[in-house]
Structure 1
Amino acid sequence: LIDMEYWLACNEERAAQTRFGAVMCCCGPCAMYRRSALLLLLEQYETQFFRGKPSDFGEDRHLTILMLKAGFRTEYVPDAIAATVVPDTLLPYLRQQLRWARSTYRDTLLGLHLLPGLDRYLTLDVVGQNLGPLLLAVSSIAALAQLALTGTVPWWTGLTIIAMTMIRCSVAAVRARELRFLGFSLHTPINIFLLLPMKGYALCTLSNSDWLSRKIANSPDVDESKGSTEDATTGPSLNPGSAMPGAIRRAGLSRAPSQLIAPDGIAAETE
């Protein structure tokens, strides 16, 4: 499921964002920046704090916000290909999602003042990413309460969630031209029963900057593939000795980095 999750994040979420002028998070291992732009913001980037405490995860989203604040434009490149290390068991996956949730909440607060200057769709996207899980959680809790207190099955709630899930998976299957994306519907119960409680916990522990997996990490298991693919990391927190256990997953799909374009309109070169 994780390769389909990444495909959707890149080829739907970020592809839609770039049509409206800005990618809100350039994924760390899949991003390319102008060196001059990075040097301009390097001091701010290396001294990331939240509530007075050093914060060294979610640096890709943080760097994207800094770039947008500085007046640069971020874009998604659909024909670029990149590889990254991903969790291959449930516990590391949940730790990753916890870090990402905290990063999303933190940098959403940091980037709120940018939204009036961006397209209205991006405001809707940010609101949806943050309030969508809350609404789904409220609906799920209400459905479980109805079942427990009245003994009646919340058909409308269940059918609505199922219908929305199948529509999304069907659209992805058509766009990717792979029927296996219909199986991504299995991610919905994972989202409801595991990720939503974890996101609630993340919201209540925003000041916690623990990486969670670094203390137990040794070195990732990497599957060699044809050609030489470098894991282009950004930021001081991503070093070879602190990588999260996992393996490079090859989905056979385009995993595109985001591209930074300076105000003069000259794009960074990609091979």
Structure 2
Amino acid sequence: MLSFSLSLSLSLSYSSPRQLTKPGQRQQQQQQQQQHHHTKNKEKKATNQQRPNTNTPLPPQNHHLPPNRMQGQRVLKWLKGTLRCCRTLGFAVAMLGFLIWAYVWGVPIANSPYKLVSFGMYGLLLSLHVLLQSLFAFLEHRRMRGEQGGPRRGLAGTGGGGSSNASCSRTVALTISAYQEDPDYLKKCLLSVRQLQYPTESLRVIMVVDGNSREDAYMMDMFQDVFRDKDPACLVWRHNYHAWDPRTGAAEGEGSAGVDPQRAQVEELLRSRRFVCVMQRWGGKREVMYTAFKALGGSVDYVQVCDSDTVLDQWATQELVRVLDGDERCGAVGGDVRILNADESFVSFMSSLRYWMAFNIERACQSYFNCVSCISGPLGLYRNVCLQQFLESWYNQTFLGSHCTFGDDRHLTNRMLSMGYSTKYTARSRCYTETPAQFLRWLNQQTRWTKSYFREWLYNAFWWHKHHLWMTYEAVVTGVFPFFVAATVIQLFYAGSLWDILWVLCVIQLIGLVKASYACLLRRSPVMIFMSLYSVLYMTSLLPAKFFALLTINKSSWGTSGRRKLVGNYIPLLPLSIWTSILVVGMTYNTYKESQQNWSTEVKREETTYLLAGLGCYLAYWTTMLLLYWIWFRRACCRRSYSNDVTV
């Protein structure tokens, strides 16, 4: 009893006023406290949503820790980063050395009699690469279906049934970059934007036109016409962010304190109005994108990029937002880009198949490891809080002393990867975009893209250690591949035999058929079998264009973006002419050398058998594929009306 009385007295003497109140008052105070905690938790969640997230967790607040312990944590963090760098560098060097060893020494694995048909270590490595890439792409598509399976839900206020609170709360600015666009493509783009299934109060549409002359006014007029019921705001900016000269402005009576007066108008419009079109002085695509990003500031959560020749699926924005909302470590996500004019020519048809392979196999595989190398310009979404952090360094990028004005999308992606954020791909977000149908325009486009690839390859190498080793492995393999192919072709044409040349050509088509067959199964469409024909474009055009791109890597222009003007740049045809001359001379020399040999020996008789059989198979393959293309595909395209289904 004594102990019980003592404990009771102690508990009463140290009890709070809440414990001594009446039951009714106590219940009322408990309700008030619960409301206070609920409000505090909501504020905490909102703060956490606005906080930038990276793959590396935010550093803990250790202000109360002793200086020695804080110094130790910094040293430990530095050691971990150094070890990751050493591991990645060692892996890259080992991988490169192994590839060179397997290629140069030509380690054989299986040979036929007289070594007429052989399979070596380098061929095994390429086969394993194709197999692993296809496997991880399949797993990523299965993950997409598992995490986001079922019909896509509509959002409140858009006519769909059901909503996602997280997606509805995110504000998105859809930025459209336009330059001398074909009126038909531009109108299709703007009409598709009107059909987007996303809350109208959370979406802003901003189109920036690269050019402010009378010839460019039709794009602003079309924007006003399509969104006439949305109260669009339009402004013709005499300058741009980097073209304003305070001395000229003062002489013309514009601005005060060296500030462009129209700059404030642009920023006010983009941050307060939902539909805005700005025409500015010509400066290139990066200048156009910079204007949209800079003027928006931190007024939105996400920034979506889109080209003026792109038709968006109505669910495209919602699916991109869903990916970023589902992973706080993801800084950017891209969608599935298809070709709008696939039936216009053989080049555009081959491009449509190549696009599907690039996105649904190559980038799907990269997405499995959270390191997509390029978020494509027609369809991509970025976390704005991260975008604003590297905006200035992205715009002011230089290479070999020259300001970079191309490769904007790939460098945006690399900047996000350099911060430690992951980049993803989702096939559930889709769009259709125009591709060059003329060979020369297509070649100019590919040359420009190759320049940015090699330049960004070097930049990206500094951040390999922040991501999965697959990023390092794939960069090494794809980086050296064109050099090995070119060396193989030249060596065969000058030092090999006629059978060696034919055997390599047959192997190339065989690998193409295997990849195309897998694509047929994955896409569930027999049309992908024509992907094996793409090898002729690669070997005759893309391969020499890659070396030309390296030699002219600092030459900058919009390239293929001005669709109202005919392409007059014939310089990329020069490397094709040189490449053709090299092959013709080599083939002539090889044929002469072979004609001087004794074909009555047992080895040569065996080689003749292989040569005739291989030539028959090769000719039969091309005859069959071209016949299928001209009879089946072209006839099907002629019967089909000009329409595009963008429903995923």
Q: What is the TM-score with the length of structure 1 in the denominator? A: 0.76
* C-alpha spacing 1:72/1:219, structure 2 compared with 1 (3 Å): farther
Does residue 158 (structure 1) correspond to residue 505 (structure 2)? The answer is yes
Structure 2 match to 1:107: 456
Does residue 204 (structure 1) correspond to residue 551 (structure 2)? The answer is yes
* C-alpha spacing 1:30/1:200, structure 2 compared with 1 (3 Å): same
* C-alpha spacing 1:153/1:251, structure 2 compared with 1 (3 Å): farther
Q: 1:132 and 1:97 mapped to 2: Cα distance?
A: 17
Q: 1:71 is matched by which residue type in structure 2?
A: G
Q: Deviations over 1:179-218 (max 9, x none)?
A: 111111111011001110000111122222233446x642
Q: 1:44 is matched by which residue type in structure 2?
A: S
Structure 1 match to 2:352: 3
* C-alpha spacing 1:250/1:89, structure 2 compared with 1 (3 Å): farther
Q: 2:515 is matched by which residue type in structure 1?
A: R
Q: 2:455 and 2:436 mapped to 1: Cα distance?
A: 23
Does residue 85 (structure 1) correspond to residue 434 (structure 2)? The answer is yes
Structure 1 match to 2:248: none
Among candidates 521, 532, 538, match of residue 185 of structure 1: 532
Indicate the percent of aligned positions where both proteins have the same amino acid.
29
Structure 1 match to 2:381: 32
Q: 1:159 is matched by which residue type in structure 2?
A: C
Q: Aligned residue pairs: how many?
A: 224
* C-alpha spacing 1:142/1:249, structure 2 compared with 1 (3 Å): farther
Larger radius of gyration: 2
Q: What is the TM-score with the length of structure 2 in the denominator? A: 0.33
Q: 2:532 and 2:646 mapped to 1: Cα distance?
A: 20
Structure 1 residue 140, shift from structure 2 partner: 2.1
Does residue 218 (structure 1) correspond to residue 564 (structure 2)? The answer is yes
Structure 2 match to 1:245: none
Structure 1 residue 252, shift from structure 2 partner: 6.0
Structure 2 match to 1:260: none
Q: 1:174 is matched by which residue type in structure 2?
A: L
Q: 1:68 and 1:32 mapped to 2: Cα distance?
A: 14
Q: 1:59 and 1:251 mapped to 2: Cα distance?
A: 29
* SS of residue in 2 equivalent to 1:83: strand
Q: 1:165 is matched by which residue type in structure 2?
A: G
Structure 2 match to 1:145: 494
Q: Deviations over 1:136-177 (max 9, x none)?
A: 222222233256xx5555233222212211111111111111
* C-alpha spacing 1:253/1:136, structure 2 compared with 1 (3 Å): farther
* SS of residue in 2 equivalent to 1:40: coil
* C-alpha spacing 1:163/1:152, structure 2 compared with 1 (3 Å): closer
The answer (yes or no) to whether the contact 1:85–1:249 under 8 Å persists in 2 is: no
Q: Deviations over 1:47-81 (max 9, x none)?
A: 12211211111110001000111222211112111
Among candidates 445, 465, 468, match of residue 96 of structure 1: 445
Does residue 124 (structure 1) correspond to residue 473 (structure 2)? The answer is yes
Q: 1:154 is matched by which residue type in structure 2?
A: I
* C-alpha spacing 1:151/1:160, structure 2 compared with 1 (3 Å): closer
Q: 1:96 and 1:66 mapped to 2: Cα distance?
A: 23
Q: 2:389 is matched by which residue type in structure 1?
A: L
Q: 2:508 is matched by which residue type in structure 1?
A: I
Structure 2 match to 1:229: none
Structure 1 residue 253, shift from structure 2 partner: 8.4
The answer (yes or no) to whether the contact 1:20–1:121 under 8 Å persists in 2 is: yes
Does residue 133 (structure 1) correspond to residue 479 (structure 2)? The answer is no
The answer (yes or no) to whether the contact 1:86–1:249 under 8 Å persists in 2 is: no
Q: 2:647 and 2:450 mapped to 1: Cα distance?
A: 25
* SS of residue in 1 equivalent to 2:423: strand
The answer (yes or no) to whether the contact 2:432–2:646 under 8 Å persists in 1 is: no
The answer (yes or no) to whether the contact 1:17–1:122 under 8 Å persists in 2 is: yes
* C-alpha spacing 1:75/1:191, structure 2 compared with 1 (3 Å): same
Does residue 48 (structure 1) correspond to residue 397 (structure 2)? The answer is yes
Moved more, 110-119 or 3-12: 110-119
The answer (yes or no) to whether the contact 1:30–1:83 under 8 Å persists in 2 is: no
* SS of residue in 1 equivalent to 2:429: coil
Structure 1 match to 2:522: 175
Q: 1:189 and 1:249 mapped to 2: Cα distance?
A: 29
Q: 2:526 and 2:373 mapped to 1: Cα distance?
A: 29
Q: 2:365 and 2:359 mapped to 1: Cα distance?
A: 9
* SS of residue in 1 equivalent to 2:424: strand
* SS of residue in 1 equivalent to 2:382: coil
Q: 2:643 and 2:358 mapped to 1: Cα distance?
A: 15
* SS of residue in 2 equivalent to 1:209: coil
Q: 1:153 and 1:71 mapped to 2: Cα distance?
A: 46
Q: 1:24 is matched by which residue type in structure 2?
A: S
Q: 1:189 and 1:140 mapped to 2: Cα distance?
A: 13
The answer (yes or no) to whether the contact 1:3–1:251 under 8 Å persists in 2 is: no
Structure 1 residue 98, shift from structure 2 partner: 0.4
The answer (yes or no) to whether the contact 2:431–2:646 under 8 Å persists in 1 is: no
Q: 2:643 and 2:493 mapped to 1: Cα distance?
A: 36
Q: 2:520 and 2:408 mapped to 1: Cα distance?
A: 31
Q: Whose helix proportion is higher, 1 or 2?
A: 2
Structure 1 residue 102, shift from structure 2 partner: 0.4
Q: Whose strand proportion is higher, 1 or 2?
A: 2
* SS of residue in 1 equivalent to 2:430: coil
Q: 1:249 and 1:12 mapped to 2: Cα distance?
A: 26
Among candidates 50, 71, 75, match of residue 420 of structure 2: 71
Q: 1:86 and 1:50 mapped to 2: Cα distance?
A: 28
Q: Which runs of 5+ in 1 are unaligned?
A: 221-247, 255-271
* SS of residue in 2 equivalent to 1:28: coil
In angstroms, what is the RMSD of aligned CA positions? 2.4
* C-alpha spacing 1:9/1:151, structure 2 compared with 1 (3 Å): closer
